[in-house]
Amino acid sequence: MHIEVTGQGPALVLIHGWALNGGVFAPLAERLSRHFQLHIVDLPGHGHSRDDDTPLALPFVVGEIAAATPPGIWLGWSLGGLFALHGAATLPQVHALAMIAATPRFVRAGDWPHAVEPQVFEQFRQDLASDYRGTLERFLALDTLGSAHARSELLALREMLVARGEPSPQALQQGLHLLERSDLRRALAALRKPSLWIAGQRDRLVPPAGMHDAAALTPASQSVALAGAGHAPFLGQPDEVTRLLRDFAETLQPQQHP
């Protein structure tokens, strides 16, 4: 698995979302590398890890990331939040958790209303088989839908998608399976590590109410919804997200300070 290391300071592991790669964090990396040692992951089947055939399943991927990175904070965006949360719940080396536009369950249920309808993921699954590139384009548009910076964010995501090569169809299907089937809510109440939950107020994929509800189930949590932000707030508001992450790190133990 390809993991880019840059910057100096306490370790911060960044895990990207469905169909993208670690390059999506470029605006954050530019700002955070002065304060953290960043470990920017390309998940199996994505970006520079496109030929890595590790199953895109929580224990396999989390184990590989943990073996290749030092103790620190894990940050997950969208699908990446499932890996980050699983790591925080199961590994002592994950000292704290940051979730951006991510929840423990992405699919709506009777007791979890602030999420996506199951049919959305099923439609993506069918569309991938018939129109791979068109499906990716529609998903990128959903990532930016509602954001006050939608046009510039969409252009950035398109560039990042092709810069490291398109993800493998198998990895995309495995990622959809994770998004459809994962439910990590039981891990929240037992999570004693500090956590930060950053939502986009205009996010159409992960409603901010869902992130608020998840944070409310988690001890030692902070929850923030950024006005004007969509599903990728670190693209449209990188300075604000950087500030939130630095402030969060400063609340941790002195040896973890940036």
Provide the residue type at 51 as one letter.
D
How many CB atoms within 10 Å of residue 219?
A: 12
What gap in Å lies between CA 142 and CA 15, rounded to an integer? 19
Question: Angle, to 10 degrees, between the axis of helix 58-68 and the axis of helix 80-90?
Answer: 70
Q: Say which residues have a Cβ less than 8 Å from residue 86's Cβ, sequence separation at least 6.
A: 58, 59, 62, 184, 187
Question: Which candidate, 146, 155, 158, places its Cα nearest to that of 200?
Answer: 146
* Closest C-alpha to 217, from 199, 236, 192: 192
CA trace torsion 45, 49, 51, 53 (10° rounding):
-60
Rg (CA), the chain: 16
Residues catalogued as catalytic: 78, 203, 231
Q: Looking at the DSSP assignment, which residues form a beta bridge with residue 99?
A: 76, 197
**101 and 40 in contact (C-beta within 8 Å)?**
no
